[in-house]
Amino acid sequence: MSRENTLVTAQWVEDNLDNDQIVLVEVDEDTTSYDKGHIRGAIKLDWTTDLQDQVRRDFVNKQQFEALLSERGVGNDHTVVLYGGNNNWFAAYAYWYFKLYGHQDVKLLDGGRKKWELDSRELTDAPTEREQTSYTAQEQDHTIRAFRDEVVAAIGTQNLVDVRSPDEYAGRLLAPAHLPQEQAQRAGHIPTAASVPWSKAANDDGTFRSDDELRKIYTEAGVDWDKDTIAYCRIGERSSHTWFVLKEILGQDNVKNYDGSWTEYGSLVGVPVALGDERGEA
Partner 1 sequence: MCGAVEGGLSLEGVNVAKEAVVQGQVTRGGEPVPNAYVRLLDRTGEFTAEVPTSPEGHFRFFAGEGEWTLRTLAPKADPVDRSVVATVGSVAEVTISL
Catalytic site positions: 233
Q: Which stretch binds partner 1 (CB under 8 A): 66-74, 110-118, 150-158, 227-235?
A: 110-118
Q: How many CA atoms lie within 13 A of 64 on its CB side?
A: 11
What is the smallest separation between the CB atom of 161 and partner 1, expressed in angstroms?
16
What is the smallest separation between the CB atom of 35 and partner 1, expressed in angstroms?
12
Under 8 Å CB-to-CB from 263, ≥6 apart: which residues? 183, 185, 234, 235
Q: 226: closest CA among 258, 254, 257, 190?
A: 254
Q: Does 127 bind partner 1 (CB under 8 A)?
A: no
Beta bridge partners of 25: 43, 82
What is the smallest separation between the CB atom of 173 and partner 1, expressed in angstroms?
5
CA 274 to chain centre: 25
How many residues lie near partner 1 (CB under 8 A)? 29
- Of the pair 1, 177, the CB lying nearest partner 1 is at 177
- Of the pair 1, 179, the CB lying nearest partner 1 is at 179
Give the whole-angstrom CA distance, residue 208 versus residue 216: 14
Q: 201: closest CA among 276, 116, 108?
A: 108
Q: Does 87 bind partner 1 (CB under 8 A)?
A: yes
Residue 53 phi/psi, 5-degree rounding, is -60, 140
- Of the pair 37, 102, the CB lying nearest partner 1 is at 37
Q: Does 118 bind partner 1 (CB under 8 A)?
A: yes
Site track for partner 1 across 164-193, x = CB under 8 A = -xxx----xx-xxxxxxxx-----------
Select the residue interacting with partner 1 from 117, 150, 211, 228 (CB under 8 A): 117
Q: 225: closest CA among 255, 248, 197, 198?
A: 255
Which helix (H) or strand (E) segment holds residue 120: the answer is none
**46-58 core/surface letters (b: 16 or more CB in 10 A; e: else):** ebeebbeeeeeee
Give the whole-angstrom CA distance, residue 208 versus residue 185: 31
- Of the pair 19, 48, the CB lying nearest partner 1 is at 48
Residues 207-266, interacting with partner 1 (CB under 8 A): none
Q: Which stretch binds partner 1 (CB under 8 A): 68-76, 138-146, 161-169, 218-226?
A: 161-169
Give the whole-angstrom CA distance, residue 31 versus residue 73: 20
- Of the pair 77, 182, the CB lying nearest partner 1 is at 182
| 240, 281 Cβ separation under 8 angstroms | no
What is the smallest separation between the CB atom of 204 and partner 1, expressed in angstroms?
6
Maximal CA-CA distance, the chain: 55
Q: Does 197 bind partner 1 (CB under 8 A)?
A: yes
Q: Does 124 bind partner 1 (CB under 8 A)?
A: no
Residues 9-68, interacting with partner 1 (CB under 8 A): 30, 33, 36
Q: Which residues bind partner 1 (CB under 8 A)?
A: 30, 33, 36, 85-87, 114, 117-120, 165-167, 172-173, 175-182, 197, 199-200, 204-205
